[in-house]
Amino acid sequence: MLNEKHDLVHELPEYRDVIHKLKTSNNHFARLFEQYHEVDHEIHRIESDIETTSDDYLEEKKKQRLHLKDELFQIIKAQ
At 3, the pLDDT band (50, 70, 90 cuts) reads low
Query: Span 6-31, mean pLDDT?
Result: 93
Domain borders along the chain are 8-77
Using an 8 Å Cβ cutoff, are 29 and 72 in contact? yes
Using an 8 Å Cβ cutoff, are 69 and 8 in contact? yes
Positive/negative CA dihedral, 52, 8, 12, 28:
positive
Polymer length in residues for the chain: 79
**Mean pLDDT score of the chain:** 93
